[in-house]
Amino acid sequence: MSPSKMLFHCREQMRLRGQDAEAVFMLPGKWGKRDTRRLCPGGPIGKIVMDNFGDGLAVMFRANDVVKFLETVKEEA
């Protein structure tokens, strides 16, 4: 998913659910020893909510954290 689609998804969740909204993204990898996963290196940490058994992990993030991170990365580029 592109960063612009991620921003749109998070902002839409915040519009519907308020500032405490959460957004779920599929990330590659397997469930290891921890119940958390970073969106990307240096990105926000989310809670793994589902293992898709070989097709990645469903990870829930605070939408506000993702928006703040993507906006700062966008400004630096």
Q: What is the pLDDT of residues 50-60, one digit of tens each?
A: 998 878 999 99
DSSP symbol at 73: H
Angle at 4 between CA 11 and CA 36, to 5 degrees: 70
What domain count does the chain have?
1
* Residue 75, pLDDT score: 78
**pLDDT single digits (tens) 62-77:** 999 999 999 998 877 6
Where in the sequence is the domain holding 15, given as residue range(s)? 3-76
The pLDDT-based confidence of 37 (bands split at 50, 70, 90) is: very high
DSSP symbol at 16: H
Contact 21, 14 (CB under 8 A): yes
**74 closest CA partner among 4, 11, 27:** 4
